[in-house]
A and B are shown apart, each in its own frame.
Chain A
Amino acid sequence: DVKVTQSSRYLVKRTGEKVFLECVQDMDHENMFWYRQDPGLGLRLIYFSYDVKMKEKGDIPEGYSVSREKKERFSLILESASTNQTSMYLCASSRAASFYGYTFGSGTRLTVV
């Protein structure tokens, strides 16, 4: 019973490419999030969205943008991929104003060469 699905498990892209990471949830959650996870730094919030077409910057938005055209789908876009964006990217979703935590996707390990 998969609830948050990330389109790719592993991805290798070249420097300068435009990269799309897709995330779909089937729980009718209002909130969706993109994090990146790096050793020793934990999960850092890139962007989040609390409604369709709404987006808010997280702690490290530089070099990224997002799109939420439908409630169930939240896309992360790397406009021009760079090697320092090599990381594990985790998508998550939650109910509005929820402090019960998130449901996570399985992650996309992106390597930029």
Chain B
Amino acid sequence: EDKVVQSPLSLVVHEGDTVTLNCSYEVTNFRSLLWYKQEKKAPTFLFMLTSSGIEKKSGRLSSILDKKELFSILNITATQTGDSAIYLCAAPNDYKLSFGAGTTVTVRA
């Protein structure tokens, strides 16, 4: 059975802090790992990672994959209140996505 585990489940930080979110996975036929951000509505796509050791970056967010150790991290630097959200990690198997439980990030002003 595919398994995606995220940690921590929640955290509270202050504006300007750096946040690191963890995602470990056990997926048959691994092809990619995806990160989503979910505010009040639909999850929105952040990154897709397929190659080990190559950092993907978008503004203050970055992510990296370690295929040997089967995990990924998502970093958010200089956090802002608009970064408050649930961050979801997911891995596809065929055409199904298996999701982790998500990490709820709260950024206080």
Contact = CB atoms under 8 A, between A and B. Distances in A.
23 contacts: A40-B9, A42-B88, A42-B99, A42-B102, A43-B97, A44-B99, A45-B96, A45-B97, A48-B95, A48-B96, A50-B95, A90-B42, A92-B97, A97-B94, A99-B92, A100-B32, A101-B45, A101-B90, A102-B97, A105-B42, A106-B41, A106-B42, A107-B42
A89 to B, nearest CB: 12
Nearest to B89: A42
Contact of A99 (B32, B41, B43): B32
Interface in A22-80: 31, 33, 35, 40-45, 48, 50, 58
Contacts, number: 58
Interface in B11-56: 31-32, 34, 36, 41-45, 48
A96 interface: yes
B73 interface: no
Interface of B: 6, 9, 31-32, 34, 36, 41-45, 48, 88, 90, 92, 94-102
A84 interface: no
A50 B41 CA distance: 24
Nearest to B94: A97
**Nearest 3 Cβ contacts at the A-B interface:** A104-B42, A42-B101, A43-B99
Interface residues of A, number: 27
A101 B88 CA distance: 12
B48 A101 contact: yes
